Amino acid sequence: MGTSVYKIIDIVGTSPKSWEDAAKVALETASKSLEDIRVAEVVKQDVTFENGKVSAFRVRLNISFKYHIEK
């Protein structure tokens, strides 16, 4: 097995349903443009509040993906 390098970035997902759905949406969206996503770590969870009700769940994630060098 060879060596690998991984890059870590922050992303934020939102959902009107739940924190879990916000994380799922964020990862599924990120996977459309990033290859080899390996790990996602929930860094922060919060909600937006409007008119006396929770309007959206937000999750900030650190995601790591394999770094590919262009040849």
Domains of the chain (ranges plus CATH)?
6-65 (3.30.1660.10)
7 membership: H or E segment, kind and range: strand 6-15
Count of residues in the chain: 71
Looking at residue 55, its pLDDT comes to 96
Residue 25: phi, psi to the nearest 5?
Answer: -60, -45
Q: How far apart are CA 43 and CA 45, in angstroms?
A: 7
pLDDT (tens digit, 9 = 90+) per residue, 27-67? 999 999 998 898 999 999 999 999 999 999 999 999 999 88
* pLDDT attached to residue 1: 53
Question: Could you read off the pLDDT of 6-30 as tens digits, one per residue?
Answer: 899 999 999 999 999 999 999 999 9
Q: How confident is the model at residue 4 (pLDDT cuts 50, 70, 90)?
A: confident
